[in-house]
Amino acid sequence: MNDTPAPDQTPVESDIERALGGGARPPVGRFRLDLATGEWAWTDEVYVMHGFEPGEVVPTTPLMLSHKHPDDRGRVDGVLRHAAETGQTFSSVHRIVDAAGRTRTLAVTGQGRRDPASGRVTELFGYFIDVTKAHREAAAREASASIQASSERRSVIEQAKGVLMVIHGVDEEAAFDQLREASNQSNIAVRDIAYSLVQLFSGPDVTEFPTREAIDKFLADPIRPDDL
Protein backbone atom coordinates (compact mmCIF):
# COMPACT_ATOMS: atom_id res chain seq x y z
CA MET A 1 0.00 0.00 0.00
CA ASN A 2 1.41 3.34 -1.04
CA ASP A 3 0.42 6.96 -0.54
CA THR A 4 1.86 9.71 -2.71
CA PRO A 5 0.38 13.21 -2.39
CA ALA A 6 1.70 14.51 -5.70
CA PRO A 7 0.01 16.47 -8.48
CA ASP A 8 0.80 13.90 -11.17
CA GLN A 9 -0.71 10.43 -11.34
CA THR A 10 0.72 8.15 -8.67
CA PRO A 11 1.16 4.36 -8.68
CA VAL A 12 -1.85 4.19 -6.35
CA GLU A 13 -3.96 6.16 -8.81
CA SER A 14 -2.84 3.78 -11.54
CA ASP A 15 -4.05 0.90 -9.37
CA ILE A 16 -7.36 2.71 -8.96
CA GLU A 17 -7.69 3.11 -12.71
CA ARG A 18 -7.05 -0.60 -13.21
CA ALA A 19 -9.65 -1.46 -10.59
CA LEU A 20 -12.19 0.77 -12.28
CA GLY A 21 -11.36 -0.62 -15.69
CA GLY A 22 -11.65 -4.32 -14.91
CA GLY A 23 -14.96 -6.17 -15.00
CA ALA A 24 -17.89 -4.82 -13.00
CA ARG A 25 -17.25 -1.30 -11.76
CA PRO A 26 -16.67 -1.15 -8.00
CA PRO A 27 -18.74 1.18 -5.82
CA VAL A 28 -17.60 4.80 -6.05
CA GLY A 29 -18.72 7.61 -3.74
CA ARG A 30 -17.88 11.27 -3.33
CA PHE A 31 -16.77 13.03 -0.18
CA ARG A 32 -16.09 16.53 1.03
CA LEU A 33 -14.27 17.41 4.25
CA ASP A 34 -14.77 20.80 5.85
CA LEU A 35 -11.42 21.48 7.51
CA ALA A 36 -12.84 24.12 9.83
CA THR A 37 -15.44 21.83 11.42
CA GLY A 38 -13.94 18.40 10.71
CA GLU A 39 -17.28 17.25 9.30
CA TRP A 40 -17.54 15.14 6.18
CA ALA A 41 -20.21 15.10 3.53
CA TRP A 42 -20.66 11.59 2.11
CA THR A 43 -22.73 10.37 -0.78
CA ASP A 44 -24.84 7.28 -0.13
CA GLU A 45 -22.16 4.96 -1.49
CA VAL A 46 -19.62 6.03 1.14
CA TYR A 47 -22.10 5.38 3.96
CA VAL A 48 -22.64 1.87 2.61
CA MET A 49 -18.88 1.25 2.30
CA HIS A 50 -18.58 2.00 6.02
CA GLY A 51 -21.51 -0.28 6.92
CA PHE A 52 -24.13 2.41 7.53
CA GLU A 53 -27.43 3.29 5.99
CA PRO A 54 -27.28 6.65 4.17
CA GLY A 55 -27.70 9.45 6.72
CA GLU A 56 -27.56 7.04 9.68
CA VAL A 57 -24.59 8.85 11.27
CA VAL A 58 -22.94 12.24 11.03
CA PRO A 59 -19.55 11.56 9.41
CA THR A 60 -16.71 13.30 11.21
CA THR A 61 -12.95 12.89 11.12
CA PRO A 62 -12.85 10.98 14.46
CA LEU A 63 -15.60 8.65 13.22
CA MET A 64 -13.88 8.13 9.89
CA LEU A 65 -10.49 7.41 11.53
CA SER A 66 -12.10 5.07 14.06
CA HIS A 67 -13.10 2.80 11.20
CA LYS A 68 -9.62 2.70 9.66
CA HIS A 69 -7.78 -0.55 10.21
CA PRO A 70 -5.46 -0.09 13.24
CA ASP A 71 -2.41 -0.86 11.11
CA ASP A 72 -3.38 1.80 8.54
CA ARG A 73 -4.91 4.50 10.75
CA GLY A 74 -1.77 6.53 11.45
CA ARG A 75 -0.71 6.48 7.82
CA VAL A 76 -4.11 7.66 6.57
CA ASP A 77 -4.20 10.41 9.19
CA GLY A 78 -0.79 11.57 7.95
CA VAL A 79 -1.98 11.65 4.33
CA LEU A 80 -5.00 13.78 5.28
CA ARG A 81 -2.93 16.16 7.38
CA HIS A 82 -0.45 16.65 4.54
CA ALA A 83 -3.28 17.29 2.09
CA ALA A 84 -4.89 19.77 4.49
CA GLU A 85 -1.63 21.68 4.79
CA THR A 86 -0.69 21.71 1.11
CA GLY A 87 -3.93 21.29 -0.82
CA GLN A 88 -2.08 18.93 -3.16
CA THR A 89 -3.66 15.97 -4.88
CA PHE A 90 -3.51 12.90 -2.64
CA SER A 91 -4.32 9.23 -2.85
CA SER A 92 -4.26 6.24 -0.55
CA VAL A 93 -5.27 2.59 -0.51
CA HIS A 94 -6.07 1.35 2.97
CA ARG A 95 -8.26 -1.01 4.94
CA ILE A 96 -11.27 -0.12 7.03
CA VAL A 97 -13.38 -2.09 9.49
CA ASP A 98 -17.00 -1.26 8.76
CA ALA A 99 -19.85 -0.96 11.26
CA ALA A 100 -20.54 -4.70 10.93
CA GLY A 101 -16.92 -5.62 11.68
CA ARG A 102 -16.04 -6.54 8.09
CA THR A 103 -12.66 -5.55 6.70
CA ARG A 104 -12.80 -3.69 3.39
CA THR A 105 -10.12 -2.14 1.20
CA LEU A 106 -10.82 1.40 0.01
CA ALA A 107 -8.98 3.66 -2.36
CA VAL A 108 -9.35 7.38 -1.80
CA THR A 109 -8.18 10.12 -4.10
CA GLY A 110 -8.81 13.84 -3.82
CA GLN A 111 -7.39 17.33 -3.54
CA GLY A 112 -7.74 20.53 -1.56
CA ARG A 113 -9.73 23.67 -2.30
CA ARG A 114 -8.40 27.06 -1.22
CA ASP A 115 -10.29 30.12 -0.10
CA PRO A 116 -9.80 32.78 -2.79
CA ALA A 117 -9.42 35.56 -0.24
CA SER A 118 -7.07 33.98 2.31
CA GLY A 119 -5.40 31.36 0.15
CA ARG A 120 -5.85 28.83 2.93
CA VAL A 121 -6.95 25.26 2.23
CA THR A 122 -10.51 25.12 3.51
CA GLU A 123 -11.73 21.74 2.35
CA LEU A 124 -10.74 18.44 0.81
CA PHE A 125 -12.89 16.69 -1.75
CA GLY A 126 -12.67 13.60 -3.91
CA TYR A 127 -13.74 9.99 -4.19
CA PHE A 128 -13.82 6.79 -2.19
CA ILE A 129 -13.64 3.58 -4.24
CA ASP A 130 -14.33 0.16 -2.75
CA VAL A 131 -11.58 -2.05 -4.23
CA THR A 132 -12.08 -4.95 -1.80
CA LYS A 133 -13.01 -7.40 -4.53
CA ALA A 134 -10.13 -6.35 -6.77
CA HIS A 135 -7.65 -6.78 -3.92
CA ARG A 136 -9.03 -10.19 -3.01
CA GLU A 137 -8.80 -11.33 -6.62
CA ALA A 138 -5.22 -10.05 -6.85
CA ALA A 139 -4.32 -11.79 -3.58
CA ALA A 140 -5.88 -15.02 -4.87
CA ARG A 141 -3.85 -14.79 -8.08
CA GLU A 142 -0.65 -14.21 -6.11
CA ALA A 143 -1.46 -17.10 -3.77
CA SER A 144 -2.15 -19.42 -6.72
CA ALA A 145 1.14 -18.46 -8.34
CA SER A 146 2.98 -19.03 -5.05
CA ILE A 147 1.33 -22.41 -4.55
CA GLN A 148 2.16 -23.45 -8.11
CA ALA A 149 5.79 -22.38 -7.71
CA SER A 150 6.01 -24.24 -4.41
CA SER A 151 4.52 -27.34 -6.01
CA GLU A 152 7.03 -27.16 -8.85
CA ARG A 153 9.91 -26.86 -6.38
CA ARG A 154 8.65 -29.86 -4.41
CA SER A 155 8.19 -31.83 -7.62
CA VAL A 156 11.79 -31.39 -8.78
CA ILE A 157 13.09 -32.30 -5.30
CA GLU A 158 10.98 -35.47 -5.37
CA GLN A 159 12.40 -36.35 -8.79
CA ALA A 160 15.97 -35.82 -7.57
CA LYS A 161 15.31 -37.96 -4.49
CA GLY A 162 13.96 -40.69 -6.75
CA VAL A 163 17.15 -40.68 -8.82
CA LEU A 164 19.32 -41.04 -5.71
CA MET A 165 17.09 -43.78 -4.29
CA VAL A 166 17.54 -45.82 -7.49
CA ILE A 167 21.25 -45.15 -7.99
CA HIS A 168 22.33 -45.60 -4.35
CA GLY A 169 19.66 -48.02 -3.21
CA VAL A 170 18.67 -45.83 -0.25
CA ASP A 171 15.34 -44.78 1.21
CA GLU A 172 13.65 -41.41 0.73
CA GLU A 173 15.04 -39.86 3.91
CA ALA A 174 18.63 -40.85 3.09
CA ALA A 175 18.24 -39.49 -0.44
CA PHE A 176 17.12 -36.12 0.89
CA ASP A 177 20.01 -36.14 3.37
CA GLN A 178 22.39 -36.45 0.41
CA LEU A 179 20.82 -33.43 -1.26
CA ARG A 180 20.95 -31.45 1.97
CA GLU A 181 24.61 -32.35 2.59
CA ALA A 182 25.51 -31.24 -0.94
CA SER A 183 23.62 -28.01 -0.31
CA ASN A 184 25.45 -27.33 2.95
CA GLN A 185 28.87 -27.97 1.39
CA SER A 186 28.26 -25.89 -1.73
CA ASN A 187 26.00 -23.16 -0.29
CA ILE A 188 23.53 -23.85 -3.11
CA ALA A 189 19.83 -24.24 -2.30
CA VAL A 190 18.48 -27.80 -2.21
CA ARG A 191 15.90 -27.00 -4.89
CA ASP A 192 18.65 -25.69 -7.22
CA ILE A 193 20.79 -28.78 -6.67
CA ALA A 194 17.74 -30.97 -7.31
CA TYR A 195 16.97 -29.10 -10.53
CA SER A 196 20.54 -29.44 -11.81
CA LEU A 197 20.62 -33.12 -10.87
CA VAL A 198 17.37 -33.82 -12.70
CA GLN A 199 18.77 -32.09 -15.79
CA LEU A 200 21.61 -34.64 -15.81
CA PHE A 201 19.17 -37.30 -16.97
CA SER A 202 16.22 -35.36 -18.39
CA GLY A 203 17.77 -32.47 -20.33
CA PRO A 204 17.13 -32.15 -24.06
CA ASP A 205 20.64 -33.33 -24.96
CA VAL A 206 20.70 -36.35 -22.65
CA THR A 207 20.67 -39.72 -24.45
CA GLU A 208 21.37 -42.08 -21.55
CA PHE A 209 20.89 -42.27 -17.78
CA PRO A 210 23.94 -40.92 -15.90
CA THR A 211 26.19 -43.36 -14.11
CA ARG A 212 26.57 -43.56 -10.36
CA GLU A 213 30.03 -42.09 -10.72
CA ALA A 214 28.63 -39.08 -12.61
CA ILE A 215 26.00 -38.46 -9.95
CA ASP A 216 28.51 -38.85 -7.10
CA LYS A 217 30.80 -36.38 -8.87
CA PHE A 218 27.91 -33.95 -9.20
CA LEU A 219 27.00 -34.24 -5.51
CA ALA A 220 30.63 -33.59 -4.54
CA ASP A 221 30.73 -30.45 -6.67
CA PRO A 222 27.16 -29.42 -7.61
CA ILE A 223 26.44 -26.61 -10.05
CA ARG A 224 23.72 -24.02 -10.14
CA PRO A 225 20.94 -24.18 -12.76
CA ASP A 226 22.28 -20.98 -14.38
CA ASP A 227 25.61 -22.71 -15.01
CA LEU A 228 24.14 -25.66 -16.90
Containing H/E element for 31? strand 28-34
Write down the mean pLDDT value for the chain: 80
Neighbouring-strand partners of residue 28 = 129
pTM here is 0.53
Distance CA 223, CA 202 (A): 16
pLDDT tens for residues 80-103? 889 999 988 888 888 999 999 999
Phi and psi based region of residue 51 (left: phi greater than 0; alpha: psi -120 to 50; beta: remaining): left
pLDDT tens for residues 125-157? 999 988 887 766 666 666 666 656 666 677 888
CA-based torsion, 25, 13, 47, 114: positive or negative: negative
Distance CA 12, CA 3 (A): 7
Q: 121 vs 35, 105, 116, 201, CA distance in Å?
A: 8, 28, 9, 70
pLDDT tens for residues 39-57? 899 999 999 999 999 999 9
Domains of the chain: 11-130 (3.30.450.20), 146-227 (no CATH)
Distance CA 14, CA 91 (A): 10
